[in-house]
Structure 1
Amino acid sequence: MTTGIDPFQLYGTRETDTPPVRLTAGRLAVDFKDGNLRTIKYDGAEVLRAVSYLVRDRDWGTYAPSISDLQIDQRLDAFAVSYVARCAGPGDTELAIDVRITAQAGEPLIFEAEALSRTGFATNRCGFCILHPIVGVAGMPVSIEHVDGPSEETQFPDLIAPWQPFKDMRAITHRVTPSVTAECRMEGDIFEMEDQRNWSDASYKTYVRPLALPWPYRISVGEPIRQRIVLSIRDRGHPSIAPTSRSAENGSITLSSGSRSGVMPPIGLIITPQEAKATLAARDRLAEIGPQELLFHFDPDAGHGADAFKSFAAVAALHSGGSTLEIALPCRQTPLAEATQIASRMQAAGFNPDAIVISPSVDRQSTPPGSEWPECPPLEEVYAAAHAAFPGMRLGGGMLSYFTELNRKRVPAGPLDFITHCTNPIVHAADDLSVMQTLEALPFITRSVRAIYGNKPYRIGPSTIPMRQNPYGSRTMDNPDGGRIAMANTDPRHSARFGEAFAFGYAARVLDVGLECLTLSALTGPFGLIAGKSEPSPAGATRPIFNSVATLARLAGSQWRECISSEPTSVLAFVTARTGERRQLHLVNVTPAPRRIELGPFRSVDQPKSDALTLGAYAVTSATLTD
């Protein structure tokens, strides 16, 4: 897939992401990877995104079990897999899971597991997760069989559901194509579904053990936990009708003109007190990018004080665009007292941003279903305090964390001038495919925000691959070895071509929402555009993501027009133009395979007679068009 390219250039690490093993049973095809099933297809159409057996720790981190005794038997029309997965927990606790997966042409796919601990084992979740895709499935009919027997005919949520759309599940049946339906039956426990688009995952997730039950919980010594998933596919015998956007694997991708258009959003960079000095030292790079907005982060709970505003003022003096102060309000005193104190320190330092984003610090932590909301002043009081302390400044609100928290605690929009939230692609999974697939969920997130808040001005970010704060546990995960780790505060792909493609693909996916600002990175530090002293690249050298953010900042304010890709899960495209200038075609390949692009109605100035180009792995390119 990536022959001839140094994996370090693509991923920022030489740690390999083990390729899946393709297994088939008649028309059924699955990818077996790391003990689980991915990309489950029937006759070429995606049935399920994944069936996985997962064990989660106290901070909702996912264990990476060691796999032994792996046996894979691929026959002409059937396959069988067996292995033992072992998890090592804190205090020398352990858990062993005995797994068997079988499938035969015309028969159900069965994935069964028995977990057993000789020591006892504490976990937040232990068992199966089933992922349904979202594209072509959102809003479509589905049948739910409940534990107590009756079936419910309903629909997958179209707008993102804040809480579990389906509970007490025993089986779920949905249409794959007009002639094919799939039933997924879950045995051994009570399952429920959450809408993972909340976290920008491109799936609906059906998981074991209701969240209303206590967690963490303990698996007793010597008590086997048995579960089984049975996937049955019914084909009425008519030819399957695959989605029209599905291209032949490794075949050409076609482009055509679309009807949607708009204005490219302003681009922001986030500045923290920890990185303000490094930002000042990189002032030439800041000028080279020319962002339209600087977002300054201030968090008294993290020890930020008056000195932070002096640094912010120095950085703001280098910048000709807008500036916003993002405040995580501690709420240990009254909101008015705290906001007034922050405003006084800010003014004393000569820092005068154009806007304020304010949110109670406690709201950064998630409140899962079944949990009690933490104490917090009413948001109306918080916003009134901000207006009093920062008169004349635009006020933004929402969440300093993710859309999940905004969807579950919908802020009163009346006092606000704009709404904001972030996203993060490594909340649940950190493999390359899952991270890039989160881009598919972004249009659902932006459409859901518009359904809640109408045409209220809307900002997104900072949204980076590394996680800046963990709403679902006590900490983000350290990543000293530079691996692919969920909820990690650093990620090697941010420093590689993968990160460049992710950032550009992110922008392409949210163009049509009319954002007031999009923030995809910092200038320096683990979320930054330039390398630090501890990295293999020379300190101050640009990371590949620099190119994406600089290009997007240059394009801000220009007109964009939709360009339809026949395979939008692989290649995204759009066209931009400024008055009096030629149009530009922008392309990004979000896969590790080179893709051939048939340009259709588009021709570049450099190659006016060429009707195709090849876009390399995780490549971003722009071409000036002939008309």
Structure 2
Amino acid sequence: MSTEPSAALHPAAPSAAVPSAAVPSASVSSALAGSDSRPALERRLDPQIRKLAVGVWTAELIGDELANISYGGRPVLRAIKAVVRDHEWRTFAPSVRDIEELKDDDGISLRIHVDYAAPGTAADGTAAPGTAADGTEPPAYEGMLMLRVTPAIVDVSFSGRAKAAFRRNRIGLVVLHPTSEAGRDVSVVSPDGNVTSGAFPTDIRPDLVFTDISSLEWADAGTAFDLGFSGDIFETEDQRNWSDGSFKTYSTPSALPTAVDVAVGDTVKQSVSIEALSIETPDNPARESQEQAAFAVGVPVGTVPALALSVDTVDADSTASAPVGAGSAEGPTLPGLDAVLVELYEPREAWPAKLAAAAREADRHGAALDVRVVSDSADGVAEALSSALGGSLSRVVRLGLFHPETQCTDPAAFDALKASLNDAGFSGQLLAGTRSHFTELNRWIAGSSAGSGNVSPVPKDADALTFSLAPQVHSTEIPHIVETVPVQRLAAASAHKLGEGRPVHVGPITLKPRLHAPDQRAEGDELQDHSFTAAWTLASLHALTVDGVASVTYFEAGPPRGVTAADGALNPAGELLRRLAACKGDPVLAADPVQSQRRAGKSPVTVYPVQSDGGLQLFLGNLSPRESTARFTLPQGTGGSAAPGAAEVTVIGAAAGSRAEASRAEASSADDGYLTVTLGPWATAVVTFRA
């Protein structure tokens, strides 16, 4: 990465603009200079999208990100964007200051000025409350992106400059490749011209996919693509390790030391270009279908996993009365909740208060305890836990021990802990794995196996494996959060395989990472109390309802990262989890798209049918800022006139403005009728058919 002396931030402009009529093959869907005066959360949930089209190239400009780059209707790249990440891997928040559009005879050029706010600061660089206690000026950065699209090439260049001194791990352009590229053969060209063959992995790969990249070359359906990089050496990793829906090619090779000091005025210049050479005529760009989503609800395909909550004990008082979680004993409860998860750190003097607070929370719900200990030794752990819980570990259903440096299980400590548990009354499951992301589990097993003759580091006496999830490790944009959902299923299935068939306990799942760097506090998210989080949670549970997943822990008991709002009432995610916790172990039915829906493409509606003793509950969530309608063919005897008026619609988060409505068609001689449900933006609902 270059750190040249301060220079002009604005690259030379392309040739003078000409009337758009002179460029019939180029178009921009909306005025680029317009401002968006909506509230910040509304802009985040439904960002302005500017569609770009030149020849058969299409792309979308969303904020500072060039997204969904396609050629002839075929996806080529998920996104190109610039990122600034500090020494703790926290991402500076981008804010577009202005955009200038220039057209010429060849295509479209856009010049975008972006400000990058340090974590905990506003977009203008001012400190948020409580983030600059030492009085120092928060780090800030600015950049200029030049986007150019012609019939043959898409080019993105970045010039960045530091406005304050800070320490960085990465600054520059990143390219996101869609997960649909898994299995794609690629030629990797190094800066010295050497060419090696490779492929995007199908299984989630723990190590680097490609290294020492000057360009990547591949072919798809008669078109050859050349993705070139300049300004640094690039490499590719499998971001599915963090549940991202992409592979990522980035600069600052991981072999180089981090973190690096950045001085005021230091600059970075990089560029990325994707060039297409069609051997045959490409297809016409795909058009969005207007067909209504349709599903057929059928036979059981799984069961509802056990659900758990976590409690935040970082700031628990040293007294046994320290409040942690949703509040008083009169607060809302989640009947059927499997466990309350508590993480215990050194010093051990704080454990009694933290365990007491977690036990009170578990008592309110009638749940057990799931205890995760972070310590470099098992010495005295069983005794300390037993003493804090009244002399017995009988109410602990799961117990894990993780090293504070690796965040993974230490096999020797695991064996020592197991040997000491017999006299403490522990009869639950002893967990191995990681308290961090799937990344660490994947690397732990792959690294240890490679160094020990393919012998897995998972202790043979481990009852189950565990790992956690957070959808915003790399990106906070809503589409990227949504795209983590299908990857969660892949990660869970991979963990089940890595554990040689052991059950998997997923969580805690939080919107933002619980741990990122030593002593870094977990952050709340403005989405936590929004109806979006209920719809996302339903989609997440649907993805994790897969063979091998035994339990899923979502969020915390209390605000700001929990299932209750500041007033103590359940937020939409809490309302949803209360309904789902009561369904533990109930059959989940298939909800297959009908043939017309397969042609129409993926629907934003999640369908999660649960068959309980009391009847069929159709859990539905809309992961879209637009109203969505879906039609359902129901099992025999559930819909149509066979049970007139039996459908009850419960809107999750109705108090916050969510809406949904359902209507039923009369049965005919051909079928048993069908149900049509319309969901408002980001809405979640339960349609119940009583037995």
Q: Which residue of the partner structure matches residue 504 of structure 1?
A: 538
Q: Which residue of the partner structure matches residue 64 of structure 2?
A: 35
| TM superposition shift of 1:446 | 1.3
| TM superposition shift of 1:102 | 0.6
| TM superposition shift of 1:209 | 1.2
| TM superposition shift of 1:561 | 2.4
Matched, 1:522 2:556: yes
SS at match of 2:406: helix
Given the alignment, which residue of 230, 238, 259 partners 1:187?
230
Deviations 1:573-602 (A, max 9, x none): 2322135x5433332211211122233567
| TM superposition shift of 1:444 | 1.8
Q: Which residue of the partner structure matches residue 563 of structure 1?
A: 591
Q: Is the 8 A contact 1:571 1:588 kept in 2?
A: yes
Cα separation, 1, equivalents of 2:688 and 2:45: 36
> RMSD in angstroms over aligned alpha carbons?
3.3
Q: Which residue of the partner structure matches residue 664 of structure 2?
A: 608
Which of 500-509 and 353-362 deviates more?
A: 353-362
| TM superposition shift of 1:405 | 1.3
Change (3 A) 1:527 1:66: closer
Deviations 1:354-409 (A, max 9, x none): 331221222339xxxxxxxxxxx942333422441445442112111211111112
Cα separation, 1, equivalents of 2:300 and 2:288: 27
Given the alignment, which residue of 45, 67, 73 partners 1:44?
73
Given the alignment, which residue of 136, 142, 147 partners 2:191?
147
Change (3 A) 1:322 1:612: same
Deviations 1:280-304 (A, max 9, x none): 7444555344312222332235973
Deviations 1:261-287 (A, max 9, x none): 111111111134457735474445553
Q: For 1:536-547, what aligned pairs fall within 5 Å after superposition?
A: 539-547=567-575
Q: Which residue of the partner structure matches residue 110 of structure 1?
A: 155
| TM superposition shift of 1:552 | 1.6
Q: Is the 8 A contact 1:293 1:517 kept in 2?
A: no
Q: Which residue of the partner structure matches residue 299 of structure 1?
A: 345
Cα separation, 2, equivalents of 1:227 and 1:409: 34
| TM superposition shift of 1:221 | 7.1
Q: Which residue of the partner structure matches residue 267 of structure 1?
A: 307
SS at match of 1:451: helix
Change (3 A) 1:557 1:342: closer
Change (3 A) 1:36 1:280: closer
Matched, 1:19 2:83: no
TM-score (norm 1): 0.83
| TM superposition shift of 1:164 | 1.0
Q: Which residue of the partner structure matches residue 359 of structure 1?
A: 402
Q: What residue identity is the alignment partner of 1:548? A: L
Q: What residue identity is the alignment partner of 1:361? A: P
Change (3 A) 1:111 1:318: closer
Q: Which residue of the partner structure matches residue 172 of structure 2?
A: 127
| TM superposition shift of 1:617 | 1.2
Given the alignment, which residue of 429, 438, 449 partners 1:403?
438
Q: Is the 8 A contact 1:121 1:218 kept in 2?
A: yes
Higher relative contact order (CA 8 A, sep 6+): 1
Q: Which residue of the partner structure matches residue 550 of structure 1?
A: 578
Q: Is the 8 A contact 2:394 2:427 kept in 1?
A: no
Change (3 A) 1:347 1:272: farther
Cα separation, 1, equivalents of 2:284 and 2:349: 58
Q: Which residue of the partner structure matches residue 164 of structure 1?
A: 208
Q: What residue identity is the alignment partner of 1:262? A: G
Cα separation, 2, equivalents of 1:421 and 1:26: 45
| TM superposition shift of 1:61 | 1.6
SS at match of 1:46: strand
Q: Is the 8 A contact 2:333 2:578 kept in 1?
A: no
Q: Is the 8 A contact 2:464 2:499 kept in 1?
A: no
| TM superposition shift of 1:495 | 0.6
Larger radius of gyration: 2
Deviations 1:7-46 (A, max 9, x none): 98xx977877642322221222212133231121223332
Count residues with an aligned counterpart: 581
TM-score (norm 2): 0.76
| TM superposition shift of 1:233 | 2.4
Q: What residue identity is the alignment partner of 1:525? A: P
SS at match of 2:255: coil
| TM superposition shift of 1:625 | 5.8
Q: For 1:378-417, what aligned pairs fall within 5 Å after superposition?
A: 378-389=410-421, 390=424, 391-410=426-445, 411-417=457-463
Cα separation, 1, equivalents of 2:328 and 2:287: 44
Change (3 A) 1:355 1:113: closer
Cα separation, 2, equivalents of 1:459 and 1:91: 42
Note the residue ranges of structure 1 that are not aligned, 5 or more in a row. Answer: 1-6, 366-376, 477-487, 533-538
Given the alignment, which residue of 423, 428, 444 partners 2:469?
423
Q: Is the 8 A contact 2:326 2:557 kept in 1?
A: no
User: Identity across aligned pairs (percent)?
Assistant: 22
Cα separation, 1, equivalents of 2:157 and 2:469: 34
Cα separation, 1, equivalents of 2:164 and 2:559: 42
Given the alignment, which residue of 631, 651, 672 partners 1:598?
631
Given the alignment, which residue of 240, 251, 273 partners 1:197?
240
| TM superposition shift of 1:500 | 0.8
Cα separation, 2, equivalents of 1:600 and 1:44: 32
SS at match of 1:61: coil
Cα separation, 2, equivalents of 1:182 and 1:299: 50
Q: Is the 8 A contact 1:251 1:595 kept in 2?
A: no
SS at match of 1:19: coil
Cα separation, 2, equivalents of 1:319 and 1:239: 58
Q: For 1:322-341, what aligned pairs fall within 5 Å after superposition?
A: 322-329=368-375, 331=376, 334-341=377-384
Change (3 A) 1:429 1:569: farther
Which of 305-314 and 446-455 deviates more?
A: 305-314
Cα separation, 2, equivalents of 1:175 and 1:260: 41
Change (3 A) 1:159 1:247: farther
Cα separation, 1, equivalents of 2:619 and 2:437: 28
Change (3 A) 1:42 1:542: same
Q: Which residue of the partner structure matches residue 456 of structure 1?
A: 502
Deviations 1:135-186 (A, max 9, x none): x32233333223332333332111111121111112223455x344533211
Q: Which residue of the partner structure matches residue 621 of structure 1?
A: 685
Change (3 A) 1:85 1:387: same
Change (3 A) 1:380 1:99: same
Cα separation, 2, equivalents of 1:74 and 1:561: 53
| TM superposition shift of 1:420 | 0.9
Change (3 A) 1:221 1:526: closer
Q: For 1:230-241, what aligned pairs fall within 5 Å after superposition?
A: 230-238=273-281, 240=283
Matched, 1:53 2:82: yes
Cα separation, 2, equivalents of 1:430 and 1:212: 27
Change (3 A) 1:584 1:117: closer
Change (3 A) 1:595 1:238: farther
Note the residue ranges of structure 2 that are not aligned, 5 or more in a row. Answer: 1-37, 119-135, 317-321, 446-456, 641-645, 648-662, 666-673
